[in-house]
Amino acid sequence: MFSSGTHTTASTVEFAMAEMIKHPKVMEKAQAELRHVFRGKDRIVESELEKVSYLKMVIKETLRLHPPLPILIPRECQDWQKICGYDIPPKTRVLVNALAINRDPEYWDHAEAFEPERFAESGIELTGTNFAFIPFGGGRRICPGASFGLATVELLLAQLLYHFNWELPDGLQPQDLDMTEIPGLAIKRKNNLHLIAISP
């Protein structure tokens, strides 16, 4: 669980930073919130992250657009099932495409856009009970490391945003940032993200 969690956690942090670099107002808002909540403190205390709501929205939106596992772990039907008019016989392997569900315009306005504010009043949480948003799967089969992974992502991003301002190297502009993903068991960026940290 820990070895698989490190790759997906790192990938989620990288996608979140890339999305915020592409959307500087989102980064500024997340930094302003963190710098207000932790004003004058040398380090971020995990227990106080409960006071930070916008960063949580940024993480949810990152996971919506870039779920750690785009295709969830396969399941096998035990009995005959009828789903959307299709007969599914026993012993059939079923794959759930979390990436397609999380970007389905039937459930999400501007489904391909990075808009953390969509979670402000939605009431949608990362519990696996809203099946339009399942970056960690859902129900009894939800990822057992989801809570640990989320806490790690939240703490890492909070530290990065609180202590530094960020910019692209060599005069690159946010619109130049390539967001191409490499498909596979776990989703990752085609090109590594290179940023310059600047003391605020």
Classified as helix, coil or strand, 57 is helix
CA-nearest of 195, 193, 187 to 65 is 187
Distance CA 68, CA 70 (A): 6
DSSP strand pairing (181-182 vs 81-83):
unpaired
- Does residue 143 have a known ligand-binding role? yes
State the residue for tokens 């980064």. Answer: 27
Domains of the chain: 2-70+97-198 (1.10.630.10)
3-state per-residue secondary structure call for 149-167: HHHHHHHHHHHHHHHCEEE
pLDDT in tens, the chain (200 residues): 444 557 789 999 999 999 999 999 999 999 999 999 999 898 898 888 999 999 999 999 999 999 988 888 888 899 999 988 999 999 999 888 989 999 999 999 999 999 999 999 888 888 878 888 888 888 777 888 888 889 999 999 999 999 999 999 988 899 889 999 887 777 889 999 999 999 98
